[in-house]
Amino acid sequence: MSSKPSFGNWMVAVAEAAEVAGAPNLDGASVEQMTKAWTLVRRAAEISQEELAANIAVEAGLAVAKIQDRDPRAEILVPAEVAHRRTVLPLGCTDRDVTVATANPLSQEAKREIEWLSGRKVGFQVAPPDDLQDEIVAAYGSSEGMERVVQGSDGPAEPDGPHVLIVDDEAGQREWFRSVLEGGGFRVSVAKDGDEALATLRADDSVDLVTLDYWMDKMNGLRVLQSIRSGEEIQDTPVIMVTGAGDRRIEMSLFEAGADDFISKPIDPPLFLLRIRAVLRRRAFP
C-alpha cells in the first residue's frame, strides 16, 4: 500500500503542471504560475479557493491568513516591489518576527529575502493568490504605481549618473538594490563577496560609492570595509553599510572602521536613496 504523498511532493507536481520554473523548490513561481497551480488543484478537487487554502495550511502545518485583520504598520517591513514580485503581504510583526501571507509557503527564497530586508524571522500563513493580489494593491498600490514611486523624479539610470557598487552575497538582495538604485538614476555594478568587491574597486576607478552588507559568509562587511580603508588606491571610496536592526555595538564598530553611514533593516527605498545622495554631497561629488 502506497503512502500518502507529502505536501511538498504534490505541490511540486502541480507546479510542474503549471510550468513553474524551478518547480522542485517552487522558488521560481511567478504570480501567474502560482495562480495557475492553485486553479489546477481547485478544479480537480472541485473545491473553493478558501477550502484549498485551508487544506494547504493543514498539510504545511501553518495557519490560514486572516488578511482582514492585518496590521498596516507591518507594511514597512516588506517593500512594495517585493510584495508584488513575491505575492506576499505582511500581516503583523513584533521586534523579532513578521507574519506574512503567501500562496507559496514552500518558497524558501522568498522567506530568506523578507528576513534579510526586515531583520526579523518570517512566519508564513496561507492565502489564495487572487485574494493576495487584491490586498497587495490595496496596501501598496498597483505594481505600475510602485515603479513610479521607486523611480521618483530622477527616472531611470543615467549614463553619467553616480556609479554605485552593491556588495551582497544574496543574489535576490543584489537585484533588489539594483532595481532601487537604477530607478533612482544611479549606474550600478554588483559584487557577490568581499574579494570580488575589492577586485572591482581596484580595477574600476569610476565607482563613486559602495553599499556593503555587514552579514556575509565568506568575508563579513566589517572586514571588507577595513580592507577598503587600508587600500592605498581605494581608501577614500565612500561606503554605506547595511546592517541588522538596532545593533548599536555593530554600528559603532562600523563608524570606527571608517564607514560613511549605515542603514538598518527594514530598508525604506526613498530613505536609502536620500542617504546615498547625502554621502555623495558630503564627499563633494560634482
Q: Looking at 127-274, which runs of residues are DSSP E strands?
A: 163-167, 187-191, 209-213, 239-243, 261-264
* Residue closest to 122 by CA, chosen among 133, 135, 113: 113
- Asked if residue 154 and residue 121 are part of one domain, the reply reads no
pLDDT of residue 267: 81
Residue 212 structural domain: 148-281
pLDDT of residue 16: 60
Which residues touch 4 (CB under 8 Å, ≥6 apart)?
Answer: none
- Asked if residue 134 and residue 13 are part of one domain, the reply reads yes
- Asked if residue 108 and residue 19 are part of one domain, the reply reads yes
Q: For residue 13, is pLDDT > 90?
A: no
> Band of the pLDDT at 276, cuts 50, 70, 90?
very high
Residue 104 sits in a domain of what CATH number? 3.30.300.160
pTM of the prediction? 0.61
Number of domain units in the chain:
2
135 CA to centre of own chain: 19
The answer to whether position 286 is within a domain reads no
How far apart CA 246 and CA 193 sit, in angstroms, is 24
- Asked if residue 245 and residue 121 are part of one domain, the reply reads no
Residue 217 sits in a domain of what CATH number? 3.40.50.2300
pLDDT of residue 28: 59
* Residue closest to 83 by CA, chosen among 96, 95, 70, 94: 70
The answer to whether position 2 is within a domain reads no
Q: Looking at the chain, which runs of residues are DSSP E strands?
A: 88-93, 97-102, 121-126, 163-167, 187-191, 209-213, 239-243, 261-264
- Asked if residue 135 and residue 42 are part of one domain, the reply reads yes
The answer to whether position 34 is within a domain reads yes
